[in-house]
Amino acid sequence: MKKIDEYQGKKVLVMGFGISGINAAHLLVKLGANVTANDKATPKNNDIVDDLEADGIKVITGDNPISLANEGFDVVVKNPGIPYDNPLVAAFVKQGTPIITEAELGWQIFDGHLVSVTGSNGKTTTTTLTQLMIAENAKHQVKYAGNIGISFSKIAEDLGPDDTLVTELSSFQLLGAPTIHPHIAIITNIFSNHLDYHKTRENYINAKLNITRNQTKDDFLVINWDRDEWQKIAQRSQATIVPFSRLNKSHEGAYVEDGMIYWRGQEVMPTKDIRLIGPQNVENALAAIAAAKLSGVTNDAIKKVLTTFSGVRHRLQYVMEYQERLFYNDSKSTDIEATEVALQGFDRPVILLAGGLDRGYTFERLVPYFKKHVKAMIVFGECKDKMKDAGNQAGVPVIESEDAITAVPEAWKLSEPGDVILLSPANASWDQFPSFEVRGDKFIEAVEELTGKKEQ
């Protein structure tokens, strides 16, 4: 951990009691700040408040009182999910109070080698693969943190100058991380996500580009080279560009040719040996390979990881095989693009479980994928009628169910040996579940109850 004094004696407000917020509050006390912690909700677990108050932190719950804007805070550390049009946040913006996220705080105290990953899809898998690959050859600690569910600042506290940290960073986190400076930055792809938060696609892209904003020619931006737009976005960085591509050969980076993965013209391994399924996971592997090779990782270490790693939980996660049916949990597919790529990963008939929060869009884009890959659909949630319409357009049998749990036995009734039963909702979970993780866990529990087996 790097010793810094910029918070010594400063008055800091931490907004949000998520994992990152709680860790940030305690860290700020160590850094000498006078800390107030605020959450709009009242925690059900009193231990959270007790622990904060025991550390000398003033705690305010049940509201974001606008009066806090008049208490002279020097800095606000905001939960990334709290939008900037929140009245209290907007008041701080208006008066010019610096607003950062916990990722920025983590960067400020980090004293080692930083690799950071962002993108619309594939962030967690790429982060995990990169960490595993670098750790295979490392003599020092190699950890991961960030949007992957582990506090950046908490891990950074325990790492020294020779250690490596691979961080997954969302656009929300990056928007409040003005000085973050990874030596290797990865952009997996950029679609049109979170426009309810960012308002415009350009705002969203600009937030993503904060990952490379402070890089120089001595740093590296690893970026997907499969679309012209992404190639143009790369030109906005001052870093040395390292492309990865499933579709375009580039001797400057990682690419695929005739079923073989290459790094700068040298063979690494066949794509067929990657344990993860689907073209999106080839792209994730290419991005991780580029970062790993830039970090001095050997081909043998890369092969070991890619031939054994079976996936991140909830991200096209293989659950089990039962009576010649394969079950997959892709609850993290909370948008159309993620479900598109999930369906492309299977050459077997798919019974698709899909639906969730209605964000106002329809699903015509999925119709070609339904026609090609989907045998039947079970739909649920607020948007089930819209999802059903897309299924009907594709000529796919569709039945309705209550949720992702009740859909499991319905899918089983429709299945035959050789089929895939896939939860890939194409929608957020919040209409029925508190998170995509809970939705995925409940799906797995339903599969275990149906089969009498534990996930593999």
C-alpha–C-alpha distance, residues 321 and 455, integer Å: 9
Domain count along the chain: 3
Q: Is this model's pTM higher than 0.75 or not? A: yes
Residue 444, domain member (yes or no): yes
* Same domain assignment for residues 270 and 418: no
Q: Which domain holds residue 332?
A: 317-450
Q: Is the pLDDT of residue 456 over 80?
A: no
Residue whose pair of structure tokens reads 């090609």 in the numeric block: 372
* Average pLDDT rounded to a whole number, residues 423-445: 96
Per-residue pLDDT at 310 exceeds 90: no
The answer to whether 333 and 424 have CB atoms below 8 angstroms apart is yes
pLDDT at residue 43 is higher than 90: no
Residues 253 and 341 placed together within one structural domain of the fold:
no
DSSP state for residue 80 in the 8-state scheme: T
pLDDT tens digits for range 148-184: 889 999 999 999 999 999 999 999 999 999 999 999 9
CATH of the domain at 125: 3.40.1190.10
CATH code (residue 341):
3.90.190.20
**321 and 272 co-located in one domain:** no
User: pLDDT tens digit string along 61-82?
Assistant: 999 999 999 999 999 999 999 9
Segment holding 166, helix H or strand E: strand 164-168
Which residues have a Cβ under 8 Å from the Cβ of 423 and sit 6 or more positions away? Answer: 328, 329, 330, 331, 353, 404, 407, 439, 440, 443
Report which secondary-structure segment, H or E, holds 182. none
**Shared-domain flag, residues 132 and 236:** yes
| Angle in degrees, CA 386, 389, 395, rounded to 5 | 150
Over 80: is that where the pLDDT of 137 sits?
yes
Q: Six-digit token pair at 431?
A: 């209409």
Q: Report the pLDDT averaged over residues 421-449.
A: 96
80 CA to centre of own chain: 13
Q: Which pLDDT tens digit goes with each residue over 335-376? A: 998 899 899 989 899 999 999 999 888 999 999 999 999 999
Average pLDDT on 105-110 reads: 98
Q: Give the amino acid at 229.
A: E
Check whether residue 182 and residue 35 sit in a common domain: no
Task: Specify whether 272 is located in the same domain as 244.
Answer: yes
Closest residue by Cα to residue 192 from 3, 421, 359, 18: 359
Domain membership flag for residue 5: no
Average pLDDT over residues 194-202: 85
